[in-house]
Amino acid sequence: MSPVELTHVKNFKVGRTGFGEIEFLKPIDLTSISIASIPDLIVFTNQSCIVYPDDSSKPKMGDGFNVPSQITIENTFPVSKDTKQPITDPHHPVFRKFVRKLHHIPKTTFKSYDPSNGAWTFIAEHA
């Protein structure tokens, strides 16, 4: 991409296999972001995606990665209190309660949940 094209990258997506992905819903200016620094700025861990883990490096809303995004977190299942194992049966009462909780996570807008792989997709207005 040319330097001019890098100032307005649409549908920029970052992911980690087995953990999830984040797609930015507004164009990203990649001229101010080092590609090598992306793993430090967008961190995927078990059932989590953190953008700007160091608050001191977070730009103002609308800049960098601090824009609306769609995030998918994989392997998001409720855990049995007895066995400490994931509950994957979508008809289990705990499973249904868990999915209802996902609808009400603060600062997110629920989009979907796939019980086959535990992929929870939601919108976040900013980092």
Tell me the residue range of the domain where 50 lies.
3-124
87 touches 78 (CB < 8 A): yes
State how far the Cα of 16 lies from the Cα of 30, in Å rounded to an integer: 19
Average of per-residue pLDDT across 99-113: 95
State how far the Cα of 85 lies from the Cα of 96, in Å rounded to an integer: 16
Q: What is the pLDDT of residues 1-13, one digit of tens each?
A: 888 889 999 999 9
Q: What is the pLDDT of residues 41-78, one digit of tens each?
A: 999 999 999 999 998 889 999 999 999 999 999 999 99
- Considering its fold, how many domains does the chain have in total? 1
Tokens 């007895």 found at: 82
* Cα–Cα nearest to 26, from 83, 67, 86: 67
Q: Can you give the CATH number for the domain in which 48 is found?
A: 3.30.1610.10
State how far the Cα of 44 lies from the Cα of 30, in Å rounded to an integer: 20
Amino acid found at 38: I
Alpha-carbon Rg for the chain, nearest whole angstrom, is: 16
Burial of 6 (0-12, 13-18, 19+ CB in 10 A): middle
Enclosing H/E stretch for 21: strand 20-24
